[in-house]
Structure 1
């Protein structure tokens, strides 16, 4: 029966491929996770750079949400790529069936050096991501953002216009009468910025250099933020590198500084805090060592601190991965995520700053099958 099905499919596709000159490739992976978290920061599927406090957290969760499927379509000089996974879905629950709806990761078209659609921001150098069991690794200290953009690539340079969006809070005196009434300034809820003023695209220029030694990228971001009709220009710089070391070992580094906000740290820094441009400093490093041809470990660290909101967040971890087969990888990881914030702006009714500190340790085992 299986042979008959394959024959039928091949007869269906063969006549059309030469006619349209189109190639289709499928890929992705299935990932099974077991994760345990203990501490006074609430459980997260992965440490996103944000978080909330709890008296005592002890939680174990099994999940396959990180599994993903992608396809690449090529036709002459045109290439398109689309990818989905199931992370962050609010549909499923552990009571009935753990069903999860897909989310769009990538959907873009490339033609003669131009990329249009949703994909990694030009600020992101994916080769510098650490190999981790925790999804994304030290997100708190690295640039990891996907969004809609239009980009032009040359051998070494990239020029991009990217989707504008202001993430942050406005000062109470800037809030409209309607907003003040809706939020009631006596509450502890921050006054979130009205994004109706996001009308100029974010601009990014990046320079890339690579060789036998590895690769390095230097990026500059220029943004126009007009919250509450208060025009403000912001900018920041980013350096990321992957350097080959002894044997197959490598060192991966990211350094970010400026008005980068949502571009770095995932949820560790805002674009604007109480009407002021937020300034952040972020660092991430990871060293990967190969014990054998198929077994390796990474030790990694990520950290972000902000000037206005005075957040201080970090993530440390160490892991061990081994290839059971060419396409099947088993990994184990332990680590610690910490928040040590000096909260002033999140609570308008509090005149004196209060320090909030918390940390959670975690252990995770993953089994990943690539196809």
Structure 2
């Protein structure tokens, strides 16, 4: 009997491992319980040349120095997730390899990197509790790129702890507060986010609003910001993706383009991205994208553009290449770097 049960479980595992579902592999533990495994393995070769020093992927930071060039191989974007389902309760965990510091490993011997928590949340009916993408985001608006995340300088892009309620297209959330840049900051109240999403055969668009209480040296204010983002289906399999965010958004957009508070004043940010993806054939496609983020008080202005070409070698394996440029402009100090990246991604 025990041997029969083991054979049955092995059969289930083999069947699920043979599945081509994008969500990953599924093991059924009973009528109301299952575990799913997903993620991907991604290998990148990246060359950067110019006045902005090498990064594995561009974010809203960046200093300007003498022209230089650098090449690196890495597989740190690789990630693994598990999803646990019991009746109406879902638990989700995901890690990638961007964690750790210089004590974890080095390029001399091991190239070791520590796992980093991305998502850890519980979902029950219309409620979500834990860490995941901020409700302020629309993940469908993120373009397909070789550079991780694409033009982050113009995107709303944060993962953090929260409690979220969903009712149809409406989402309301209380999220983790953090006064980035404030001196002697005291976070007394959670951030409030509201979002409404419109979806149809044509695509989807969301409108988001953010309300926060910023309390630090010289600052005691309630702040506001908004974002409109979406993905619009155009011709055939093509799509247009966009985001536009404005207001006292600070850390919520641009990935450190702006601080919440700059020199004891609340910073105002404008950020936007636009990307068009065209399918040359069923598997061969390109995305042309541009993103920009600006902070008024700090006078930071960062932009990122690129174009790529991807194809699927199998339903699980895609390869591609991308050329792009990252530009930094801060108080008259200007510089930019070109990059070229080759990527291969095996989706579990």
TM-score by length of structure 2 reads 0.91
Q: Which residue is equivalent to 2:343?
A: 366
- Mapped to 1, the partners of 2:297 and 2:99 lie a distance apart of 29
Map 1:120-199 to 2 at 5 A. Answer: 120-169=133-182, 193-195=183-185, 197-199=186-188
Which residue of 80, 84, 93 corresponds with 2:91?
80
Structure 2 residues without counterparts, runs of 5 or longer: 1-5, 14-27
Once the two structures are superposed, residues 185-237 of structure 1 have per-residue CA deviations (whole angstroms, 9 ceiling, x without a partner) of xxxxxxxx234x01200001111110011100000000000012731111100
SS at match of 1:41: coil
Once the two structures are superposed, residues 284-324 of structure 1 have per-residue CA deviations (whole angstroms, 9 ceiling, x without a partner) of 00000000000000000000111110111100000000000
Once the two structures are superposed, residues 331-353 of structure 1 have per-residue CA deviations (whole angstroms, 9 ceiling, x without a partner) of 100000001111xxxxxxxxxxx
Measured after TM superposition, the shift of residue 9 of structure 1 is 6.3
- Mapped to 2, the partners of 1:107 and 1:313 lie a distance apart of 31
Moved beyond 2 Å, runs of 4+: 6-13, 16-19
SS at match of 2:83: strand
Q: Which residue is equivalent to 2:227?
A: 238
Structure 2 residue 292 is the aligned partner of structure 1 residue 311: no
SS at match of 2:153: helix
- Mapped to 1, the partners of 2:266 and 2:99 lie a distance apart of 29
Map 1:218-237 to 2 at 5 A. Answer: 218-228=207-217, 230-237=219-226
Map 1:248-259 to 2 at 5 A. Answer: 248-259=237-248
Q: Which residue is equivalent to 1:187?
A: none
Q: Which residue is equivalent to 2:261?
A: 272
Q: Which residue is equivalent to 1:176?
A: none
- Mapped to 2, the partners of 1:244 and 1:285 lie a distance apart of 14
Measured after TM superposition, the shift of residue 46 of structure 1 is 0.4
Measured after TM superposition, the shift of residue 11 of structure 1 is 9.6
* Structure of larger gyration radius: 1
Structure 1 residues without counterparts, runs of 5 or longer: 1-5, 170-192, 343-354
- Mapped to 1, the partners of 2:109 and 2:153 lie a distance apart of 33
Measured after TM superposition, the shift of residue 17 of structure 1 is 2.5
TM-score by length of structure 1 reads 0.85
Once the two structures are superposed, residues 221-260 of structure 1 have per-residue CA deviations (whole angstroms, 9 ceiling, x without a partner) of 0000001273111110000011000110000010000001
Once the two structures are superposed, residues 102-136 of structure 1 have per-residue CA deviations (whole angstroms, 9 ceiling, x without a partner) of 00000001011000000000011000100000000
SS at match of 2:66: strand
- Mapped to 2, the partners of 1:53 and 1:101 lie a distance apart of 29
Higher helix share: 1
Higher strand share: 2
Q: Which residue is equivalent to 2:38?
A: 27
